């Protein structure tokens, strides 16, 4: 009979072999599969140990414990070894070993700052996980995000706690990883954001912007400066506009507030998803977690479902987003449109409100922090309105398309999007399943590995934006390379809306919103920070939850006295 040492050594060899032959390639996330495999592999060892020890619990503990210890040791050694496919990529030791560290960073909301620091230390390609790299080399972007790039990576699976499907069994456009299917599902969205539908959405935009101005004027009715939370007002505007534009019905946050705390719930619902995207093995444990972990996520999904059901059961007062999506999607006669609306309700809510509100708030923050640019934008707006009045005898704002030609306004918006992109880090892609992998420059990415492009780090790279790379300096958008002192402005890596076939489909509308609302606010009001407010607090309180989550923005507001 073999000794205990011999049996345990064989157990360890078995663990290392199973890692090399199976776990190394597949890394399963099903606990049933993992448990079944481990019990099956260790059963001969356990049986032999039972004959040696004569005690079943001891035999099981030794057999399974030794196997697991050897398995984890083998995994760690392999991830740090020169045989790992990403071994040539530099990065922190802890990132090479486990994703638990980045999951922790995701919980703190400071992932964007961490990745920026890694690229500043290690260079253009950094290993940020056992099987994950981050890239800021623009030469590789077309092969990652472009038309010849890769499908979305597994992070999109891991972010999905519960996802509805449409009548054809398709998930939300945002969650589809298959390139061909994504292209098919994207077609109705492209049409829904075409030139004519945008005119429908502009009606809702102008209407809600007018309500925002009226409400703020009412706040300032006594002609004195009033302290407000600018971020909250802009969030309310964004949510009201989203309601009109997406579901054909305003949420009336601007006039009635948010008594049910929907906005806070939406923000809080991102936390668990942000952490779970880094550690996929937590997904099977979701049903067993305390309800408090998923309270916000559950509440927000119920809200989204209620909006989808209400929209499906009634005709909208205007031609909203789902009107155009339904019109451009093949829906069998007599079939309910609810599954289609439900599948994309969460995407539409976040995309139509959260990212816009954050960008609006960031623009306001920079205009208040740098009042000289607030004055420049106001002058450009007032001059343009004066020209319109002289030309047409009207005090109305120009057509929204004309705002795209306003130099100062767009420079401020672009510089804001450069410094604070709405999705700062995880533009993740991975080799398509069944492809065998993909060559990316000098690195071969086998299936199961991923690559991300972090806009926050890319936009703060002096090779692409110079000088004053980390400063708010809208003047860079006017200068050319021949300017005194030199100026680098690489528009090819300006990717606040991503790039390629999976870029933000709502980009044209988002830019119209930004230009119009910023112009209207600066024309009607003057803003400054209250005494004693540390402007650095705004940026330090921002958190990367895949989308950037903001805090309060205290500003003193007064009605503009005009030019």
Collapsing DSSP to helix, strand or coil, 512 comes out as helix
Asked if residue 487 belongs to a known ligand binding site, the reply is no
DSSP secondary structure, 51-97, as one string: HHHS-HHHHHHHHHHHHHHHHHHHHHHHHHSTTSTTTTS---HHHHH
Task: List, in order, residues 6 or more apart from 59 with CB less than 8 Å away.
Answer: 46, 47, 49, 50, 52, 53
The strand pair at 450-453 and 132-135 is best described as parallel
What token pair was written down for 371? 């009042």
Classified as helix, coil or strand, 517 is: helix
What's the residue count for the chain?
563
8 Å CB contact between 357 and 229: no
What tokens appear for 71 in the block? 């398995």
> In 3D, which of 200, 214, 210 has the Cα closest to residue 245?
200
Per-residue tokens: 237:
């505007």
Tell me, what DSSP letter sits at residue 152? B
DSSP output for 412-476: HHHHHHHHS-SS-S-EEE-PPTTS--EEETTEEE-TT-EEEE-HHHHTT-TTTEESSTTS--GGG
* CA proximity to 411, closest of 456, 353, 366: 366
Query: The tokens of 546 are what?
Result: 């895949």
| 206 token code pair | 């102008």
**Alpha-carbon span 321 to 243, nearest angstrom:** 10
Residue 561's alpha-carbon distances to 49, 162, 403, in angstroms, are 87, 51, 22
Annotated binding site: 504
Annotated binding site for heme: 504
């Amino acid at each position: 009979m073999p000794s205990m040492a011999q049996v345990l050594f064989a157990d360890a060899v078995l663990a290392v072999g199973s890692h090399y032959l199976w776990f190394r390639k597949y890394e399963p996330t099903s606990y049933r599969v993992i448990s079944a495999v481990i019990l099956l592999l260790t059963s001969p060892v356990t049986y032999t140990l039972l004959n040696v020890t004569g005690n079943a619990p001891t035999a099981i503990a030794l057999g399974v414990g030794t196997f697991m210890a050897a398995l984890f040791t083998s995994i760690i050694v392999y991830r740090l070894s020169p045989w790992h496919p990403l071994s040539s990529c530099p990065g922190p030791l802890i990132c090479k070993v486990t994703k638990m560290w980045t999951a922790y960073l995701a919980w703190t909301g400071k992932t964007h700052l961490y990745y920026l620091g890694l690229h500043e230390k290690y260079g253009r390609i950094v290993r940020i996980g056992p099987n994950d790299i981050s890239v800021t080399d623009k030469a590789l972007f077309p092969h990652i995000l472009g038309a010849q790039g890769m499908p979305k990576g597994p992070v999109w699976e891991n972010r999905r706690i519960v996802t509805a499907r449409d009548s054809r069994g398709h998930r939300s456009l945002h969650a589809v990883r298959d390139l061909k299917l994504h292209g098919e599902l994207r077609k109705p969205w492209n049409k829904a954001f075409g030139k004519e539908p945008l005119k429908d959405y502009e009606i809702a935009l102008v209407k809600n912007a007018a309500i925002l101005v009226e409400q703020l004027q009412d706040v300032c009715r006594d002609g004195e400066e009033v302290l407000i939370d600018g971020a909250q007002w802009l969030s309310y505007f964004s949510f009201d506009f989203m309601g009109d534009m997406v579901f054909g019905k305003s949420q009336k946050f601007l006039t009635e507030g948010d008594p049910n705390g929907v906005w806070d719930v939406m923000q809080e619902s991102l936390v668990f998803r942000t952490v779970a995207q880094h550690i996929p093995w937590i997904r099977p444990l979701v049903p067993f977690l305390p309800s408090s972990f998923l309270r916000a996520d559950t509440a927000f999904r119920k809200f989204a479902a209620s909006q989808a059901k209400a929209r499906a059961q009634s005709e909208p007062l205007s031609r909203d987003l789902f009107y155009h999506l339904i019109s451009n999607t093949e829906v069998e006669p007599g079939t309910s449109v609810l599954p289609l609306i439900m599948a994309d309700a969460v995407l539409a809510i976040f995309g139509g409100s959260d990212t816009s509100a954050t960008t609006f708030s960031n623009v306001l923050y920079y205009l208040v922090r740098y009042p000289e640019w607030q004055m420049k934008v106001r002058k450009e707006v007032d001059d343009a309105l004066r020209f319109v009045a002289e030309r047409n005898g009207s005090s109305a704002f120009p057509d929204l398309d004309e705002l795209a030609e306003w130099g100062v306004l767009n420079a401020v918006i672009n510089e804001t999007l450069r410094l604070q992109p709405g999705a700062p880090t995880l533009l993740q892609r991975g080799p398509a399943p069944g492809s065998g992998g993909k060559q990316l420059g000098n690195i071969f990415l086998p299936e199961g590995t991923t690559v991300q492009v972090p806009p926050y780090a890319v936009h703060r790279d002096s090779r692409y934006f110079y000088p004053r790379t980390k400063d708010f300096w809208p003047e860079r958008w006017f200068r050319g390379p021949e300017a005194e002192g030199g100026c680098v402005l690489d528009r090819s890596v300006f990717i606040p809306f991503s790039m390629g076939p999976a870029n933000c489909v709502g980009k044209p509308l988002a830019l119209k919103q930004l230009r119009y609302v910023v112009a209207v606010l600066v024309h009607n009001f003057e803003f400054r920070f209250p005494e004693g407010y540390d402007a650095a607090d705004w940026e330090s309180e921002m958190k990367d939850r895949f989308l950037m989550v903001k805090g309060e923005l205290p500003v003193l507001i007064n009605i503009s006295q005009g030019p």
